[in-house]
Amino acid sequence: MFKDLRDSFKEWSISVPKRWWEMLGVPLTIIPLCVGIISFIRWTQNSTPPLPWWIIGLVVGGAILFFVVSFATFHKLRMEVKRVRSEQDTELKLGKDDDFPSISETIKNSKVVWGFWHTGNRARESFYYGSVKRILLLEPDPNSEAFRHVLSEVSIRPVTAKELIAQIELTKDEAISKNIKKRWHNEVTSHSLMICDPSAEIEGGKTTFSDQAFVFVQVPDRNLNIEEWKKYKKTASRDRGAFDRYVAWFKDVWDNKSKPVSS
């Protein structure tokens, strides 16, 4: 708090010389008006005007009050800008792949990864790192609404149902070979996500995510190249509420809205 006040005062004091005429104009306008009103009241009371010290005091007091209010307003605005910038750092971040680690790099540097994917096509080759513990894959059922949605709206190029199923089956087979827990999902959604943690605690098959954990979300758009897809990241240390909601959603789908994958 004191550091924020000090930084605000430093910036405000620098800005004062640049705006001195504007700042001085306000008390020079308000003070004579107040003096005129007070003088009129005193005159109607038939009292003898006192020495002009009270006028000097009024001028000085008005100037001090104005600068105090000006600094308070400046500090409030500065803190609001700081808050907004901080939120922007943790909110939606759009960019190309080089703004974020690659999927392979993210999996490699994590101890635990839970993946929610349509096909898992871009993550499949990174299974050998051993950090992928759970995956939810789109059920390869051409008659399901979720499958039709991915086929028509999400696929980055025109593919047939047979080609889409083949991609899903390749990921499933690789997961089986690496002994990764896997289930089918039928969620009608365009996004895919990974819950990653470089230092998660695993005890008795239960995972406890650390403050270093994060959720990495991608929103495929068939009209854009892969590197142009929207993507964002929610870290547990900076936005625990959002992170926990993603984890709770994944667990709910895993426990209540998915099917086991047969070999």
- Please report, in tens digits, the pLDDT of each residue of the chain (263 residues total): 566 666 665 665 655 554 544 455 555 555 655 665 566 555 555 555 555 545 555 555 565 666 666 667 756 666 665 655 554 444 443 333 334 678 888 999 999 999 999 999 889 999 999 999 999 999 999 999 999 988 887 766 668 899 999 999 999 999 999 999 999 999 998 889 999 999 888 777 788 999 999 999 988 877 777 777 888 888 998 889 999 999 999 999 999 999 999 86
3-state SS assignment for residue 95: coil
DSSP state of 167: H
Residue 100 neighbours by CB under 8 Å, 6+ apart = 93, 106, 216, 231, 233
> Rounded to 10 degrees, what is the CA torsion of 235, 239, 119, 175?
60
Residue after which a domain boundary falls, among 27, 57, 90: 90
> Do 79 and 195 fall into the same domain?
no
> Do 44 and 126 fall into the same domain?
no
> Do 57 and 138 fall into the same domain?
no
> Do 86 and 102 fall into the same domain?
no
> Do 32 and 152 fall into the same domain?
no
Cβ atoms of 148 and 118 closer than 8 Å: no
pLDDT at position 202: 79
Q: Buried b vs exposed e over 169-201: b needs ≥16 C-beta within 10 Å?
A: eebbebbeeeebebbbbbbebebbbbbbbeebe
Residue after which a domain boundary falls, among 59, 90, 121: 90
Q: Residue 84: how many CA atoms within 13 Å on its side-chain side? A: 6
DSSP state of 243: H
Cβ atoms of 197 and 210 closer than 8 Å: yes
> Do 207 and 123 fall into the same domain?
yes
pLDDT at position 53: 46
* CA dihedral sign of residues 151, 230, 197, 206: negative
Amino acid at 249: W
What is the token pair recorded at 43?
């005159």
pLDDT at position 90: 40
DSSP, residue by residue, 105-166 = HHHHT-SEEEEEESS-TTTGGGGGGS-EEEEEEE---TTSHHHHHIIIII-SS---HHHHHH
DSSP state of 97: G
Find the domain containing 136 and state its range. Answer: 97-260
Number of domains the chain contains: 2
> Do 179 and 247 fall into the same domain?
yes
> Do 47 and 123 fall into the same domain?
no
The rounded distance, in Å, linking the Cα atoms of 182 and 205 is 15
pLDDT at position 144: 93
The rounded distance, in Å, linking the Cα atoms of 23 and 99 is 43
